[in-house]
Structure 1
Amino acid sequence: MEKLNNLADWLAYCERLHPTAIDLGLARVRSVAGRMDLRFDCPVITVAGTNGKGSSCAMVEAILQQAGYRTGVYTSPHLVHFEERCRMRGEMARAEQLLPHFARVEAMRGDTSLTYFEFTMLAIFSLLAASNLDVVILEVGVGGRLDSVNIIDADCALITSIDLDHTELLGHDRDSIGREKAGIMRAGKPVVVGDPVPPQSVLDHAREVGADLWRLGHDFNFSGDKQQWAWAGRGRRYAGLAYPALRGANQLVNASGVLAALTALRERLPVTAQAVRNGLAMVELPGRFQIIAGQPTMVLDVAHNPHSVAALAANLDAMGFYRTTHAVFGAMADKDLNAMLGRVGPLVDRWYFTDLPTGRAATGAALMAQWQALNTRKDVHASTYSGPVLALQAAIAAADPADRIVVFGSFYTVGEILRDGLPRISAPHAPSHHQASST
C-alpha cells in the first residue's frame, strides 16, 4: 500500500477507492463497522432532512454544551477544512487525531470498497466512539434509509424540512423523499418531525415501525412576536426566549424541532431552561444567512435547492431596502436551477456567475445562459468568472457602500470565499473574468 503520511494523503486515497462518489446502501459500510466493533456508549441523536440539518445539529450541540455535556458532532459537507466534519466538546477535530482512525478503517475494510463518504464517516465515528463523550449528534448526508449514517441506531431521530433535492437518488416528489428520510426512525424511539406540513409517507412510516412521533403543530408548537418567542410540548414549556443567534425566519422552525428532541430525551439528557437560553444565544454556524458587517453589507448562505433559496429570498426581503443587490452564484449542475433563479431573481440587480472547483458544478457560462432564458428585466447585468473569489472581488469593485452582496448556491461557493479570507470594499479590483454581458 502507498505511504499515507497526513490527512491530505488519506483524503486523496479515499477519493480513488470507489468507482462512484455516491453509492447508497448499508451493506458495505455496515460490514466494515461490524469488524471495527463500532458503537457508541452514550445517547445518539440523528438529524435528517432537506434543509436545516446543520443548523439543528449546531443548536442541539450548543444547548447540550451549556448544560455541561461532552458533545460530539458529525456533519457534512465541510465549508473550508475537512476537520469541520467532526467536532468534540465544541472544538473542530485536529488532523492528527483523525489519522489513526483512518488507518483503522483501512486495516479493517479488507477488500471492501468504500466511497469517500463511507470511509471518512467510519474514521470520524471511530474517533467519536473513542473520545469519552456524553452525547453524539449525527447529521445524515443524503436521504436517510440508505445513508451510511443509518448504520447507527439512534436514541432520537430529528427530521427537519422535506423538499425536492437529490431527486435522482431519492425520488421526484416529497412523498418519495419523505419515505427515504423516515428510514432513520427506530421502533419505540422518539422521532421529531419539524416540517410543518410533512409528507404522509413520514407519518405512515412512524406508525408502521412503532416510533414515538413528535409532530410540529400536534405534539409541540411555538409562537413569537418581534422581541421573543415561546415553545411548548409534552409537559415542558419555555417562555420569553431570545431568538436564536442563527439568523433567518426558518431558524425558529429548526429551533422548535431541537427543543422537542431535547424534551424527548430529557430523562437521559436533562437540560435547564438557562442552558436552552444560553445555547440558542451563542450558537454559531458559518454560511447560514451569515451577515458580514461592513460597507457594502455581505450575506453568505449555502442555500443550494429551491426550498433553501426561497428561505434566503424571504430573509433578504426582510432585511430592508438596498439600492442594488449583487449576487455571486455558483451551483451544481444537477440542481433545479430554474426554480432557484426564479425565487431570488426579483431581488437581484447584478449577477456574478462563477465556475466551481468540482466536476459536478455547472459552469458560470451555463448558469448565465440559463438565467438569460428566464430573465425579463432589462435593467439587470450579468457576468461570468472562473472562481467565487474573483466574482466577489468584482462585486465589491462594482458595489456602492450602501449596496449588498449575496454569495450563495453551494457549499463550494461559500467555502471558496471563506477559505480565501473575506475581501472587503478595499480589496483590489479584479474583473478578470471569462466574459461579461449586460442584458
Structure 2
Amino acid sequence: MNKFLNIPNTNSSLQDWLLYIEQLNIKDIDLNLERVKYIASKLNLLNFTSKIFLVAGTNGKGTTCSILENIFLNSGFSVGLYTSPHLLKYNERIKINGEFLDDLFHIKSFHLIESQRDSIPLTYFEFITLSALLLFKERSLNVIIIEVGLGGRLDATNILNPDISIITNIDIDHVKFLGNNRYKIGLEKAGILRPKKYAIFGDVNITYSIIEIANSLNSKLLQSGLDYMYWKSDLNNWIFWDNQGFIDNLKIINYPLSIVSSAIAAIRVSRLPVSKFIIQKSIKEFFLPYRFQTISYKPRIILDVGHNPHAALYISSRLAEIKSKKSKIYLIIGMLKDKDIKNTLFNLMKYVDFFYCSTLHVERGATAQYLSRYLPNCSIFNNIKEALHYAIKKVNFNNDIILVFGSFISVSEAILALKYISF
C-alpha cells in the first residue's frame, strides 16, 4: 500500500518522488512488459529516430555503455546514456551529452509519467526507465545507449526496438528470475535480439540458446573470436580486427579487452561515421570509476562494484598480478542475498588472506553472518564503515591491500566512509 497520502508534484523534492515511486508496486522486481509498454505508448516513447544500442550481459554492461558513450561523444554525436544502479545519487543514472541533469528535469519527467499512469503499479525500475526515455525524447539525440536492468526479455528497457543489441557475456546470476544454467539465462538475455538487426556477443564462450534465438530471428549475430577478434601486440598495446579491417595501437587499459572490443564491434557495424583515430584516442583516455580502482596507495585500497562469480574470477586474476610475497589481501565484502554468494566467494579464496564480511542494511541485503557460512574463517561487521576502520588498523601500509567488493551498495558505503577516515 502506498504510504503517501499526497502524490508529489513539481514543487516536491527529487527524494520525495523517489520514495513515492518505490512504493507503487509491492514487488521490487516484477518482470512484465505490459505495464511499462502501455504507458510508454501513451507517452509516444516506443519510436525513436535515434540509433539505439541496448546492452545486456552478466558483467561489463555499464563499462560497455560508457565506452560507447565516450567514443560517440568524441565523434561529435549527441548522446543519451541510461545505466543502473547509481552509487551516490539518482542523477548518475541518466546522462545527456556527457552531463548529469539537474533534479528539476527528473521531477518534471516523473510528474508527467504519474499523470499518465492510470493507477498502474509500475515498479521503481519501470518508472525510471520511462523517465529516461522521456528525457531522451525531449531532445534530438543521434545515439541512445541503454543498459538492461535484469535479464533482457522481460526487462523494462526491452520495450525499445534497438538497432544493435549487445550481450557482453553469460554466467550464472539472478537464478530466481533468469534460470539456473547458462542455456536458460541465455534465452532470457537473447530476448533483446531483433529480426535482421545486428547482435554482438562479447565472449568466445557463447551459449547455444543465443545462437538458436539469433537464427530464429535471422539476426546478424557477431561473436567474439569468430566474427571479430582482439589480441595483445605488446605489453602496452592491442589490436582489434573485424571484416572492415584492423585497428592497431589501442592502449591496454584497466578493463577487460573482451568488453572494450565488443563496444568497438558494435560501433563498427552501426555504420555511424567514427574514425579509427577517435576510437584509439577514446580508449586511451577512457576511465570509469570503481572498476578495480585504486583510490589510495598507503594503504592500497581498491574499490570494485562486481557482484557475481564471473566478476570474482576477473578480480582474482587482477589480484594475482599485484600480490607480492610480502603483501596480504584484506577483502571487505557485502552482497545482496539473491546473488550467487557461495561461488562468488569461492572464486576469491585463492588470493585473499582475510575476509571481512559486512551486513548490507537494505531489503535485499545479506547479513555478515549469512556470508560467513560460505567461508572457513572471516570477521563479521555490522557495516562497511566498521570493516574499513578495522582493516586500516590491521594492514601494513607499505605492502598490504584492502579490496571492497560485492555490490554497488558496498562501494557506495565505502566511498562515504572514506571521507571521514584518516590514515
1:79-124: per-residue Cα shift (whole Å, max 9, x none)?
1111111011112222122111101110111121100110111111
Asked whether 1:308 is paired with 2:311, we answer yes
Residue from 188, 198, 201 that aligns with 1:190:
198
> Which moved further from structure 2: 24-33 or 92-101?
92-101
CA distance in 1, matches of 2:382, 2:261: 40
| Equivalent residue letter for 1:29 | V
CA distance in 2, matches of 1:259, 1:414: 28
CA distance in 2, matches of 1:422, 1:312: 25
Tell me if the contact between 2:316 and 2:350 (Cα under 8 Å) persists in the aligned partners. Answer: no
Asked whether 1:371 is paired with 2:375, we answer yes
Which residues of structure 1 form unaligned runs of 5+? Answer: 376-381, 428-439
Q: How does 1:113-262 map to 2 (within 5 A)?
A: 113-224=121-232, 225-244=234-253, 247-248=254-255, 251-262=256-267
Cα displacement (A) at 1:384:
1.7
| Equivalent residue letter for 1:18 | N
Cα displacement (A) at 1:227:
1.9
CA distance in 1, matches of 2:43, 2:415: 36
Asked whether 1:403 is paired with 2:403, we answer no
Cα displacement (A) at 1:293:
3.6
> Does the residue aligned with 2:374 lie in a helix, a strand or coil?
helix
Cα displacement (A) at 1:423:
5.6
1:131-164: per-residue Cα shift (whole Å, max 9, x none)?
2221010000111011000000001011101000
Q: Which residue of 1 aligns with 2:13?
A: 6
> Does the residue aligned with 1:17 lie in a helix, a strand or coil?
coil
Residue from 403, 409, 415 that aligns with 1:412:
409
Asked whether 1:96 is paired with 2:96, we answer no
Cα displacement (A) at 1:288:
1.1
1:20-40: per-residue Cα shift (whole Å, max 9, x none)?
000111111000000011132
CA distance in 2, matches of 1:183, 1:261: 18
> Does the residue aligned with 2:166 lie in a helix, a strand or coil?
strand
Cα displacement (A) at 1:262:
0.3
Residue from 382, 385, 392 that aligns with 2:381:
385
Asked whether 1:34 is paired with 2:35, we answer no
Query: TM-score, normalising length from structure 1?
Result: 0.91
Cα displacement (A) at 1:279:
1.3
Cα displacement (A) at 1:421:
4.3
Tell me if the contact between 2:39 and 2:117 (Cα under 8 Å) persists in the aligned partners. Answer: yes
1:269-289: per-residue Cα shift (whole Å, max 9, x none)?
210112111211222222211
1:185-208: per-residue Cα shift (whole Å, max 9, x none)?
111111111121111000111110
Tell me if the contact between 2:8 and 2:20 (Cα under 8 Å) persists in the aligned partners. Answer: no
Asked whether 1:290 is paired with 2:290, we answer no
1:32-76: per-residue Cα shift (whole Å, max 9, x none)?
000011132210100000001001001111111111111110001
Q: Which residue of 2 aligns with 1:431?
A: none
Cα displacement (A) at 1:173:
0.5
| Equivalent residue letter for 2:389 | Q
Tell me if the contact between 2:82 and 2:147 (Cα under 8 Å) persists in the aligned partners. Answer: yes
Cα displacement (A) at 1:422:
4.5
CA distance in 2, matches of 1:236, 1:420: 48
Asked whether 1:349 is paired with 2:353, we answer yes
Q: Which residue of 1 aligns with 2:268?
A: 263
> Does the residue aligned with 1:371 lie in a helix, a strand or coil?
coil
Identity %: 35
> Does the residue aligned with 1:169 lie in a helix, a strand or coil?
helix
Tell me if the contact between 1:357 and 1:412 (Cα under 8 Å) persists in the aligned partners. Answer: no
Work out the number of aligned pairs and report it.
412
Q: Which residue of 1 aligns with 2:322?
A: 319
CA distance in 1, matches of 2:8, 2:259: 44
Q: Which residue of 2 aligns with 1:432?
A: none
CA distance in 2, matches of 1:335, 1:98: 30
Which residues of structure 2 form unaligned runs of 5+? Answer: 1-5
Tell me if the contact between 2:334 and 2:405 (Cα under 8 Å) persists in the aligned partners. Answer: yes
| Equivalent residue letter for 1:124 | A
> Which moved further from structure 2: 357-366 or 402-411?
357-366
Tell me if the contact between 2:36 and 2:122 (Cα under 8 Å) persists in the aligned partners. Answer: yes
CA distance in 2, matches of 1:419, 1:33: 36
CA distance in 1, matches of 2:251, 2:287: 15
Tell me if the contact between 1:41 and 1:129 (Cα under 8 Å) persists in the aligned partners. Answer: no
Q: Which residue of 2 aligns with 1:434?
A: none
Residue from 109, 119, 126 that aligns with 1:111:
119
Asked whether 1:68 is paired with 2:76, we answer yes
> Which moved further from structure 2: 351-360 or 406-415?
351-360
Tell me if the contact between 1:354 and 1:384 (Cα under 8 Å) persists in the aligned partners. Answer: yes
Tell me if the contact between 1:64 and 1:279 (Cα under 8 Å) persists in the aligned partners. Answer: no
1:300-339: per-residue Cα shift (whole Å, max 9, x none)?
1111111111111111111241521111110111222221
CA distance in 1, matches of 2:72, 2:119: 39
